[in-house]
Structure 1
Amino acid sequence: MNKQASVSSQTNGHLKKSIIALSISTAIIAPASFAATNDKEKNLKDVEVIDVRGIRASTTKNLNTKRFADSVVDSISAEDIGKLPDVTIADSLQRVPGIQIRRSAGEGSTINVRGMPQVTTLLNGEQFLSAGSLTTVQPDFTDIPSALVGGMDVIKSSNASTLAGGISGTINLKTRRPLDLDEGTTLLGSTEFTQGSYSDETDNKTMAFAGYNGGDIGVIVTVSKDKSNLANYRLGSTNHDWGMAPFEGGTCWYCPSQPLNNDGDDDDAEFTYVSYGNVNRFTERERLGANLTLQAQLTDSLEFVGDVFYTDMDDADRQQGLMADNAWGGHWAWQDQHDPINRGLTPGGKNFYTAQDITLNAPRVVAHSESHTNKRESTNINLELNYQGDGPLSGSFRYINGSADRSHTENVAQGYMTNGLAHGLQRNDGDGARPVNPDGYGPGTIPVGLDYTGSHPTLSVPSIDGEVFGSNINRYALSSTYSENNFDEEAALDIVRLDGKYEFDTEHLKAVNFGVRFGDREVTRQEYVLLAPIASPDGSESIDIMWKDQGLALYDTDGSGGAPSSTAGDLTVGAGNLIRYSELPKGWVQQTSDFGPVSPGTFYFIDPRKLDDPFAFQNTFYPGNKRAATPGTSFKVSETTQNLFVQADLGNDNYSANVGFQYIKTELDIVQNLVGDPVCQACPGKVAEDLGDVVTKKEYSDFLPSFNLSTNLTEDLIFRAAWGKTMTRLDLADVAGGLSISRSRAGDELAAREGISPDLLIATNAQMQGNPDLQPWRATNTDLSLEWYYSPSALVSIGLFNVQLESFIESSSWTAELPDADGVVRREVAVTGLDNAPGGTISGAEFAYQQAFDFLPDMWSGLGAGFNYTYSDSESGRVDFNGEQLPLQDNSKHSANAVLWYEKDGLQLRLATNYRSKRLASLSGVGGLEPNGLAIWTEPTTYVDISASYDINENVSVYLSGSNLTEEYEVNYAQWSDNQISQNVYERRMTIGIRGRL
């Protein structure tokens, strides 16, 4: 077999083995549930099937799929078994025109098609469960080992026979079928090692494939296991959702009593965040994936296919960071802006200033350690019975069962370097008042430099009394620790579907496809925090606490020994409970200077690996922790769908077309918790009373007509036109959940103005977690394209698209009167949540060029190239600070890919670049700028990847690959391109491996 591109003559036999007679199936399944089929093979009856080995063969197969598809489709094929063109599925998908990806720790995780993330992903033409995103229709691609996938189709125009669920497109992941292998046994394995430019570990990945084709029966087993350690860094603002515009002369809770500057007036406001930092983040992932497929030709007309698709991933996102903050709300006038820029007037008529060179007069500076862990597991089972007889009727019966679960934890430890006096935190262990961290720096604020003017945002710390800030371990104490946002999720999926096809021998009508489908998905989420009982000095009472801050009101922070709270009583941390870093067990504390491309200094941190088990860590210092449910973010949702489709296939020698409709009825049973008042003053706002269930039943229906036309203008020139209505299923998390109120310490200034305790937790904002009244995204799509296939391995195409959004879901904000932690309503606060917005458009164009230069002489005939460019313009109906219209979130107006490859005499080389123009990251609500917020933008990015392999002989190959060769990073700015706020820095990854086959 030619290892570059082996061609077999499999035609109608294997291409039609996915249908069962409707007459047989109807006796099994009631006609109340309808399904959509994905019968893409009908236009490939006379097309050679490519056994892909190498870049050239993969390119040829991709063009074949696109050319003979019955809708607007782009395709990606693995270059060999277990070998997609890039490291991850999402990384490979980004090479397709119109696809943009989002990254997790530098790896591609989710995608947009034509600027929209409302993209459904199918597995062999049907819905499946991904443990990383149980409530959505798009999986987290980091869950899925790329070795399990043999190819992907990106379906951009709707047709009635494709399961609806994507607004702008559908991704169909395809696994291999054993009867498509060479007859006999196929064995293949690979092992590889990867090193990052910032991480120290050497990662490994192993894949094994075994396949058997016995003619009438075949089996495939694929197993992939890998472990990776990914370095990525966060520099600058640590939280884009906590921006404020404190202004002079105001009475708002975040407005200072003193002037912001000394210009002699009170008409100024300045932009600030609650926290800034230089943070290193290391993500450790262990992935296991397995796929088992059995295919049997039971009779000449009856075939059975069974698939088990299993994924299991454990990951931990660990971080250590030097962070300076304003004590979360107590000190908003905490910065001196150098060379500020006047950005115009706020809605309140204040001059609004931003700066890139700032001194933070930080009341609190901490060595922050944090760990987020996930355990994800999913199993998807597919059973098919396919019938293809001698007559015109064919069909299939299919049953799908999926189960998935995810457990997530978050655990935080903050080592104070400041003593706490700058924000009023004292303690009393029975021997009088003293600072909460008596050995820390203070009593005043610490001048921390924040400089955005260089290549990367950098914090700088001062020397105090001849000692470099943070250099002395005796200054550190574990003054705050907590575990929140933990959750357990589980989901179940059951699908039964019937598909049928009746062929006609007429001049234009070729076949009628029809199907019914019934689907049921159920998702349950239980979110919780960890609470520990903190006892009074005499042991007479205790209160459960999440934020174990040695400085809450509960801990007698005024140092007087008196009862600061009538609810809490006179509670204190207790003698001997001051947790100094210098006294922690060996191995608990690390000295770290690794902050990626910046060097703020060397600091001491609790090893975040100690935080992986929240119960063990929290119980070490505060015994007796227990789970406490957060009712506002816990829910149960059941989704039942019934589908019916009918599609007519038309065509002759000059054209092919299909016209049809899909009808979908969706029923939702939503169980939300009725959220009551806070359980106690010292508990966080979202640990509230669960006052019972709120059950909402809703249903909606969608009628989705579609039309696709493909006509041969010449032998090699194809014109396509497509029109259709689309919808995407609701994210079940968006319709469930209650109202969660965020509260922070009042602080001295607000306490003086309102006559309250500075330690009272006051309502600062709120989030409506779920809105049962949401309607799904709906749109009408139009596509026009020209495709010129001027050789078997060459294409030039141009396409126009338009997506008219009839309704979409967006974040909205309003104000409401909400109580502080003591139950008293004192002010209105901002509330954010999701709501439907009318209208919106995406329109644009796609250009693609692809060619193998096999016409060149000698060694140059191994060259090939590809280029594509997408223009995608959108309107969301939202406006920014200046009142200007904003695009849809995360949509880049311009994106492009360029690939140069070479394949000759066993040598394969590829250089690939991916470009995205700036995109809207979020519209951030900023206190003082209501009703408009600041648009948070991500600057343009260009990623460069390379791969190379060499076939030592017919059975053994060695390969090398590099991703993100230039160490590209993402820069975020608020509203103005010269107002940088943060960076996400990713590393270069280099891989070397060996592959063998028998």
Structure 2
Amino acid sequence: MKSYHPARRAPGPRPRCLSRSIHFLLVGGMAAMPTLALAQDAPATDDIQALDAVSVTGSYSRSLEQAVDLKRDNVGFSDSIVATDVADFPEQNLAEALQRMPGVTIERNKGLGSRVNVRGLPSDYTHVSINDLATASGSGGREVEFDIFASEIIQQVTVQKSPTAADEEGGIAGSVKISTARPFDYSSRQLVASFEGAHNSISEETDPKLSFLAADTWGNWGALVSFSTAKRTNRTDATSGINFRPMSRFLGASGVRGEQAEAVIERDTGREIGNRNDTDESNLIVFQDKVGDRVFLNEQDKWGATGSLQFKPSNDFSLTFDALIGGYDSNEDEYDAAAYSASSRSTLETIHEYDDTTLAQHGILVLRDVSYTDTQHEFLSKERRNETDFRQYSAALDWRSDTWTIDALLGYSGAKKSLDYANLKHVAYAPSRTRWNGNSGETIPSASSNGFDMYNSPERYLFEAYETTLERITDDKYAAQVNIAKTFDLAFLPALRSVQFGARHTDKSKEREYGEAKIGGPSAGDNSWVNTRTLADSQLRPIGDIVPGGAYTARDLDWQMASNAYARDTFRYAGFSTPFDDAQYYRVEEQATALYLMTDFAFDLGPVPLDINAGVRYVDTSVTSFGYHPVQNPDGSTGYTDTPISMDGSYSDVLPSVNLTAELRDGLLLRAAASQTLIRPAMTDIAYKRTASWSSYRFTDGNPALKPTYADQWEVGLEQYLDNGGLLAASYFRKKIDGVVINALTGVVEDVPVYNANGTLNGIYDFDVYQPVNAAGAYEVDGVELIAQLPLTMLHPALEGFGINANYTMLDSSLAGESDLGIQTPMPGLAEKTWNLTAYYENNRFDARVSYNHKSEYVESIGYNMYPIYRDAYGQLDVSIGLRLADNVKLSLKGINLTDEATTGYTMDPSFPTMYELSGRRISLGLRADF
């Protein structure tokens, strides 16, 4: 391998095609890698020929080498994946394609990767851009919902972990930079197509996926289009909802309910109750909130396309128009048979088993096995329809002279999302017994004579409502930027290689409409079905017939329900629509202007060449948000103020950064970085709207005056680049984070009238006002990251074609979860240990990979702001096998979650499980051809 000296790289903005890089385009589960796009520091001709020969085979090891080259060339700490690195692994979306990168983990939802965590920090601490544009997704926060993007249209992803001044926003966790392909990345015409079918072991459905790419250049012009479409049918069987509920639910009840709960606790556990209305006491006695047996059927229809038109009369000038469009439609059916132990009509009857030892250090008494007097049994047929349309367009100019470089960008990124939710709810009240059992919980008939079989008594369930909600979100962002760099060769200051400066302006807005309605009868205003119509009056089918795949797998149970298709046809009368509620409307507008100045220095410190990048970024941000404040009408319904109210916020910041690279010896790099960076508050947090909880006497407001969350961070590491394309790396990083957003009491609204459902005045109350605020104090996160990428031929020639790619990240954090009981817990979403291991073998006709990724347990949420709820450690085994049938045709077989790993969780201790979720294996067979 050619010796590399980072200090000797040509200064100025980093070229799109880095030295010694083959640009791959990901298409349909396998990459097209036809030619080498020459970069500024192209290798020797014999190197090009060798790389081209490997590229025709779709070599995974060559893609790893390219990722190593990108890591080595980049300023600061980063890791990259290219198309082959993604494509030859089983994955269902872009999030799953990223999970094997060092320090990157994903959040899973019913077996599907949805959001990306970098270095264990929450997903909303990560900044995401596509083709240098911060990406809209229609979510309520800043995080990007990666499940809306098909990985087949993505060419390359780099996770930048130490920012430069030129970056739009560093992201406290890091920046995920995604790029799509351009026609002049290739030197000849390309046409690639692929097809894949994937089978889920629980739904027993087979889903298709189709992709193609076409690219060509003629003279000074080039064009590229790519397209991918995929369907996914995934079934998840789960027992869940088994969370702690504080005994204030019963002890605080008036009359017989509260008195009986107190008497039963003292009788059956010996725990004396001093004051049953004292929540400091009752919050330390907990019981099961609900036990639910649930079947989810998630059907997705996803498509994405890219287009690029490029004018490039020379290697020094280009004009490019890039487009990325896509659609993501998801329909999720949930069928839920649940027993709500905390029914408002119920109380304790008998405590059969309790636990006062497991959580004794916190003073918590857990009621493990309890009979209740009047449990609320529920049959819920829920339907969630999600439609997301995504658009991104950009026009870029790149020009280079001998000493000057200019690049400019105009862009738009937008998403529109519609969320349509419905819930057909039938309820039966009866005594029951609920308890923890094995890996979840169960509800069985009570010993009382009025107990019943909750799964097989549809005539006992009365219609309560057909509930609907409708939400629409519009998320738009416009951006303009220019970067200018000047190289220098000064005799009096030879170390100065370049100065770069630039400006960027963004205009972002998010608008949200929301409404809800309940149907109680066959026409508007008719509630004749309520408490008269039974579940037996509906068309019922066994749960194994409503969803594909047969019997329920989480437990040995069967029951009958009304399908969502039947519910939509039956209960939505002609002309029904869910009206939007002005009280729930908000709009947020944000404008940000940034200026930066950055310099590159290169010099030798004795025998060691040094490369230093240092700069400063100034950011000025203004926010305007408006919405409506709710009022309660005398009939108990919620109204709203006649005119919107608005509020402004602003902040400005100076963010310094420095990155240093020193080549201690040939192939051994010492890298160091330090910076201050920020992540802006979520749009939902700065939205100036007010929601009311009339029963809790509480208002919750948004806060446009929120400031960003900041991090002062530094990192130091060693990277050993091996002659065979391998890499050994270790780094230590530390982050000091302040301004973390929390919810806090910020005021009181006095003399608010509250009405009963019958229109009578309940009383006049003072309402507490809670808002998201920036918490005082700072928190620290530090960690170690290890990387080993080793072709095993370095050990023995007989191991030609074998290799491993592994990484490990360990965190230690003082970031604490917010438990009102003072229970020390890590910050929700932060996993302390993650690791990935891939073993592979390949030759010119055959390749095989086995990959295992592991994420340690982490706090998923804090129930009632008191009881930490953990997601158990999760490990997944994936396999990929490829066979080249001809030089341009490849057959691939892939498997996801081959060990059929269950997703599980618990509250505070594993002996109190909260969920047991099975999403099954996924096996796919694909064929790809390039011409």
TM-score over 0.5 (shorter chain): yes
Contact 2:440 2:913 in 1 (8 A): no
Instruction: Give 1:470's match in structure 2, choosing from 431, 452, 455.
Output: 455
User: What's 2:323 paired with?
Assistant: 308
User: What's 1:901 paired with?
Assistant: 840
TM-score of the superposed pair, with normalisation by structure 1:
0.80
Name the CA distance, whole Å, in 1 between partners of 2:726 and 2:359: 53
Name the CA distance, whole Å, in 2 between partners of 1:296 and 1:970: 50
Name the CA distance, whole Å, in 1 between partners of 2:218 and 2:790: 37
CA change 1:937–1:579 in 2 (3 A) is same
Matched residue of 1:627: which SS? Answer: coil
Matched residue of 1:92: which SS? Answer: helix
User: What's 2:927 paired with?
Assistant: 994
Name the CA distance, whole Å, in 2 between partners of 1:831 and 1:237: 29
User: What's 2:564 paired with?
Assistant: 608
Matched residue of 1:167: which SS? Answer: coil
CA change 1:372–1:291 in 2 (3 A) is same
User: What's 2:655 paired with?
Assistant: 704
User: What's 1:805 paired with?
Assistant: 737
Within a 5 Å distance, the mapping from 1:410-809 to structure 2 comes to 410-416=421-427, 418=428, 422=429, 445-452=430-437, 454-460=438-444, 468-484=453-469, 486-506=470-490, 507-531=494-518, 550=530, 578-584=532-538, 596-599=552-555, 601-610=557-566, 618-620=571-573, 625-652=576-603, 654-678=609-633, 680-681=635-636, 683=637, 687-742=638-693, 763-764=695-696, 766=698, 768=700, 770-809=702-741
Deviations 1:598-654 (Å, cap 9, x if unpaired)?
Answer: 33532221112345x6xx65433xx66453434454200111110111110111461
Instruction: Give 1:937's match in structure 2, choosing from 861, 870, 874.
Output: 870
Q: What amino acid is the match of 2:554? A: V
Contact 1:198 1:596 in 2 (8 A): no
Matched residue of 2:665: which SS? Answer: coil
Name the CA distance, whole Å, in 1 between partners of 2:67 and 2:230: 28
Task: Confirm or deny that 1:94 pairs with 2:112.
Answer: no
Deviations 1:700-719 (Å, cap 9, x if unpaired)?
Answer: 11111000000000111100
Name the CA distance, whole Å, in 2 between partners of 1:126 and 1:175: 12
Contact 2:238 2:554 in 1 (8 A): no
CA change 1:764–1:609 in 2 (3 A) is farther
Deviations 1:270-291 (Å, cap 9, x if unpaired)?
Answer: 3135432111111111001000
Matched residue of 2:69: which SS? Answer: helix
CA change 1:472–1:271 in 2 (3 A) is closer
Matched residue of 1:840: which SS? Answer: strand
Contact 2:714 2:735 in 1 (8 A): yes
Instruction: Give 1:847's match in structure 2, choosing from 779, 786, 789.
Output: 786
CA change 1:360–1:982 in 2 (3 A) is farther
User: What's 1:236 paired with?
Assistant: 240
Name the CA distance, whole Å, in 2 between partners of 1:338 and 1:798: 50
CA change 1:44–1:869 in 2 (3 A) is farther
CA change 1:17–1:213 in 2 (3 A) is farther
CA-atom RMSD in angstroms:
3.5
Contact 2:239 2:916 in 1 (8 A): yes
Instruction: Give 2:398's match in structure 1, choosing from 376, 379, 386.
Output: 386
Matched residue of 2:147: which SS? Answer: helix
Q: How far off its partner does 1:764 sit?
A: 3.9
Task: Confirm or deny that 1:885 pairs with 2:841.
Answer: no
User: What's 1:403 paired with?
Assistant: 414
Name the CA distance, whole Å, in 1 between partners of 2:349 and 2:411: 58
CA change 1:877–1:213 in 2 (3 A) is same
User: What's 1:950 paired with?
Assistant: 883
Q: What amino acid is the match of 1:985? A: L
Q: What amino acid is the match of 1:834? A: P
Name the CA distance, whole Å, in 1 between partners of 2:339 and 2:101: 42
Name the CA distance, whole Å, in 2 between partners of 1:91 and 1:982: 22
Name the CA distance, whole Å, in 2 between partners of 1:158 and 1:868: 21
Matched residue of 2:704: which SS? Answer: coil
Name the CA distance, whole Å, in 2 between partners of 1:141 and 1:449: 38
User: What's 2:901 paired with?
Assistant: 968
User: What's 1:6 paired with?
Assistant: none
Q: How far off its partner does 1:675 sit?
A: 1.6
Name the CA distance, whole Å, in 2 between partners of 1:732 and 1:89: 23
Matched residue of 1:692: which SS? Answer: coil
Q: What amino acid is the match of 1:237? A: G
User: What's 1:56 paired with?
Assistant: 61
Provide structure 1 residue ranges, at least 5 long, that are not aligned to the other structure: 1-10, 20-40, 423-444, 552-577, 744-762, 927-932
Task: Confirm or deny that 1:106 pairs with 2:124.
Answer: no
Q: How far off its partner does 1:246 sit?
A: 2.9
Name the CA distance, whole Å, in 2 between partners of 1:544 and 1:655: 78
Contact 1:516 1:644 in 2 (8 A): yes
- Shifted more, 97-106 versus 324-333: the winner is 324-333
- Shifted more, 311-320 versus 250-259: the winner is 250-259
TM-score of the superposed pair, with normalisation by structure 2:
0.85
Contact 2:382 2:422 in 1 (8 A): yes
Matched residue of 1:367: which SS? Answer: strand
Q: What amino acid is the match of 2:210? A: T
Q: What amino acid is the match of 2:224? A: I
Instruction: Give 1:366's match in structure 2, choosing from 362, 374, 378.
Output: 378
Task: Confirm or deny that 1:173 pairs with 2:174.
Answer: no
Q: How far off its partner does 1:58 sit?
A: 0.8
Q: How far off its partner does 1:543 sit?
A: 6.2
Instruction: Give 1:280's match in structure 2, choosing from 284, 295, 299.
Output: 295
Name the CA distance, whole Å, in 1 between partners of 2:86 and 2:287: 52
Name the CA distance, whole Å, in 1 between partners of 2:596 and 2:680: 17
Name the CA distance, whole Å, in 1 between partners of 2:13 and 2:598: 19
Q: How far off its partner does 1:847 sit?
A: 0.9
Q: What amino acid is the match of 1:661? A: V
CA change 1:783–1:111 in 2 (3 A) is same
Q: How far off its partner does 1:840 sit?
A: 0.9
Task: Confirm or deny that 1:196 pairs with 2:150.
Answer: no
Contact 1:148 1:224 in 2 (8 A): yes
CA change 1:877–1:769 in 2 (3 A) is same
Contact 2:258 2:347 in 1 (8 A): yes
Corresponding residue pairs, total = 863
Q: How far off its partner does 1:765 sit?
A: 7.0
Q: What amino acid is the match of 1:367? A: F
CA change 1:13–1:358 in 2 (3 A) is same
Q: How far off its partner does 1:886 sit?
A: 2.7
Q: How far off its partner does 1:466 sit?
A: 12
Matched residue of 1:310: which SS? Answer: strand
Name the CA distance, whole Å, in 1 between partners of 2:355 and 2:516: 41
User: What's 2:20 paired with?
Assistant: none
Within a 5 Å distance, the mapping from 1:213-224 to structure 2 comes to 213-214=217-218, 216-224=220-228
Q: What amino acid is the match of 2:148? A: D
Task: Confirm or deny that 1:124 pairs with 2:131.
Answer: yes
User: What's 2:775 paired with?
Assistant: 837
CA change 1:244–1:692 in 2 (3 A) is farther
CA change 1:477–1:332 in 2 (3 A) is closer
Matched residue of 2:163: which SS? Answer: coil
CA change 1:586–1:341 in 2 (3 A) is closer
Name the CA distance, whole Å, in 2 between partners of 1:881 and 1:894: 26
Query: What is the identity percentage for the equivalent residue pairs of Structure 1 and Structure 2?
Result: 20
Deviations 1:551-595 (Å, cap 9, x if unpaired)?
Answer: 5xxxxxxxxxxxxxxxxxxxxxxxxxx434444368899866967
Provide structure 2 residue ranges, at least 5 long, that are not aligned to the other structure: 1-8, 18-37, 274-280
